[in-house]
Chains A and B, each alone.
Chain A
Amino acid sequence: MQYDDLVAAIRLVGVSKHFGDVKAVDNVSLDIADRDFMILLGPSGCGKSTLLRTIAGLEDPTAGEVWIGNKMVNDVEPKDRDVSMVFQSYALYPHKSVQANIEFPLKVRGVDKSERAEAAKQAAEILGLTPYLERRPGALSGGQRQRVALARAIVRQPAVFCMDEPLSNLDAKLRAETRAELVALHHRLNATFVYVTHDQVEAMTMGNRIAVMRDGIIEQIGTPKDVYDKPASVFVAQFIGTPPMNIFPAGSIETGSHLVGARPEHTHIATAGVAATVALVEHLGHEIQVVCTIDAEHRAIVRLPAGTEVPDNGSSVFLTVDENHRHRFNIETGLRIS
């Protein structure tokens, strides 16, 4: 399955979606390149799913334009947008066999029986579902159901795949495996993927680009490296990265009325610096995380290699930050200064 001659770039121009007084998506403009793997990332309620559903055609935008390829699709039915969708709940037809589920989009489109059986077989093979074609979804594990949902999405070879938290119902191990498989699938299909998640690990590991959303607007668009290394705001800085970026009170690290942020790996315990109290020491096996309280509103986490000597709970320490790993944010707007 290849899409060599297909242009499937997506362009959102000033898209808003309001539910009554709630602005789920507020004047969002976004360009998704052809064959991109774009992640829409944000906490729940930030509007990422609504934005995805607007691309898929399941929601009509209150304002703005949705373009897929060189066509404005605002008034185009979901089925005619050349988009397929994988739902968080998988949304398989429980009364149909795996094979019938996979070939269903083709059946609806009037593809003849032998042709769609062949296409279903092919999709099933890509996803390792061949032994389960006769089963009903109820007789499959969560991971297998998830694959059936993917197979149903790829069978009609759409230009764009929309995925709404497709891994969130899987256990941690399976999720990690499936992440890699989805990336491989993206390479293989060479189509445009738009992927919604609240999990920043998924975002960092899978996407070519990430759009971080908050309260219906996009805070930052960039490659995973951009977003991690140069977060555009305090929100992005603290949303991406585990543990999140430490934000120090204005004036404590360097003079000036701006906030200074630093990743835990760039924050150190030293003999002089910002005074803090050790609140908690977490031994994670491969490393140790020391949670320190600076004042009532500020905490900082320091990562130490396993085996290092750690301060006791409640002891006083001093924190410093590498000079060239400081992120500076405006104290009023939270936006990046440098």
Chain B
Amino acid sequence: MALDTAPKGWRSFARYSMLTIVALFILFPVYTTVIAALKPGNKVLDNPLLPNAFTLDVLKNAWTEGRLGRYLMNTTIVAVIVTSVQLVTSIASAYAFSFLKFPLKRLVFGIFLSTMLVPLEVTLVVNRRTIDSLGWLNSFQGLTVPFIATAFGTFLLRQVFMQIPPDLREAAQMDGLGHWGFMKEVAIPLVRPTLGALGLFSFLSSWNQYLWPSLITTEDDMNTVQTGLRHLASSDLDKPNLIMAGTIIAAVPILIVLVVFQKQLVRGLTAGAVKG
């Protein structure tokens, strides 16, 4: 590669230039969104790239007209339920696949994993019918139950559970711990960074769900913030900045979560959770 043979200073210059260009591409839409959200409606379309006027009214309107408070609460409830139940089911199933002996374990695990190959879109129609027949349209059950167990979480945690030396399990057995005790006292504390990362992932993906909630919610009260934004967009075609403001409001909580748990996320993805 040409970059490798170039002198050091040039190499890092080239590298940072690349990063800067990529960052600009990524940040540009964010910038225009923020600019538009902070302008009064009549100024949005002239000089769309310049912050030539400023008002917080649009954000306020988006919050009240768009009922974003309600939607945010719905989304938060859904994301918290999905995340916490997903962690519980992932821990339990990953533990079973790592530490328990039962017949056909490998086969069952293989079947479990194969569900990762099935995209959401394939099961969408069937799941919608099932939820409908249970009478769970427009309900928190409908929004959460299909997502409370994932092969991904099971797989991820099984990988780190498998790194726990078998001696540790046996030492715990000698000390008098059963499986529940071992899980609580030893296994979970040892994989905490991975649990953090998994929790964050499921919170993010749950927060950003659009297709599923849009399929099973028809009542405005049950909208999540993502489907709510769509309503905002379609109801006020003449106010493009309103939807921009709504987007910003919807993004703020997740941004905070990301910043707070950033370290956890990186550590969980890179570090081996168990060290001797």
Contacts and interface: CB of A to CB of B under 8 A. Distances in A.
Same complex for A and B? Answer yes
B190 A105 contact: no
B158 to A, nearest CB: 19
A79 B168 contact: no
Contact of B173 (A78, A93, A109): A78
B176 A79 contact: yes
Interface stretch (A4-12, A84-92, A215-223, A291-299): A84-92
A108 B175 contact: yes
A109 B186 contact: no
Contacts of A109: 176
A79 B275 contact: no
A174 interface: no
A93 B186 contact: yes
Nearest to B176: A79
Contact of B170 (A58, A83, A104): A58
Interface in B133-181: 165, 167-168, 170-171, 173-177, 181
Nearest to A136: B275
Interface string B174-212: 111100010001100110000000000000000000000
Interface residues of A, number: 21
Contact of B190 (A84, A89, A94): A94
Contacts of B190: 94-95
Contacts of A95: 186, 189-190
Interface in A71-122: 78-79, 83-85, 87-89, 91-95, 104-105, 108-109
A79 B165 contact: no
B276 A108 contact: no
A105 B170 contact: no
Contacts of B168: 91, 93
Contacts of A104: 175, 185
Nearest to B168: A91
A99 B190 CA distance: 18
Q: Indicate the member of B168, B171, B174, B274 with the most A CB atoms within 10 Å.
A: B174
Given A93-B186, A94-B190, A87 B175 contact: no
A89 B165 contact: yes
A109 B175 CA distance: 8
Interface in A182-222: none
Contact of B175 (A88, A89, A105, A138): A105
A276 interface: no
A154 interface: no
A56 interface: yes
B109 to A, nearest CB: 22
A84 B274 contact: no
A58 B173 CA distance: 8
Contacts of B275: 94, 138
B183 to A, nearest CB: 13
B177 to A, nearest CB: 6
B189 A91 contact: no
Q: Indicate the member of B167, B173, B176 with the most A CB atoms within 10 Å.
A: B176
Given A91-B165, A105-B176, A108-B181, A85 B170 contact: yes
B265 to A, nearest CB: 20
A88 B168 CA distance: 11
Interface in A132-146: 138
A140 B185 CA distance: 21
A79 B181 CA distance: 13
17 contacts: A78-B173, A79-B173, A85-B174, A91-B165, A91-B167, A91-B170, A93-B185, A94-B190, A94-B274, A94-B275, A95-B189, A95-B190, A105-B174, A105-B176, A108-B176, A138-B275, A152-B175
Interface of A: 56, 58, 78-79, 83-85, 87-89, 91-95, 104-105, 108-109, 138, 152
Q: Which 9 A-B pairs have the closest CB atoms?
A: A79-B176, A91-B171, A91-B167, A108-B176, A105-B175, A95-B189, A87-B167, A85-B174, A89-B167
Given A85-B170, A87-B171, A91-B170, 14 more contacts: A56-B174, A58-B173, A79-B175, A84-B174, A85-B171, A85-B174, A89-B167, A93-B171, A94-B275, A95-B190, A108-B175, A108-B181, A138-B275, A138-B276
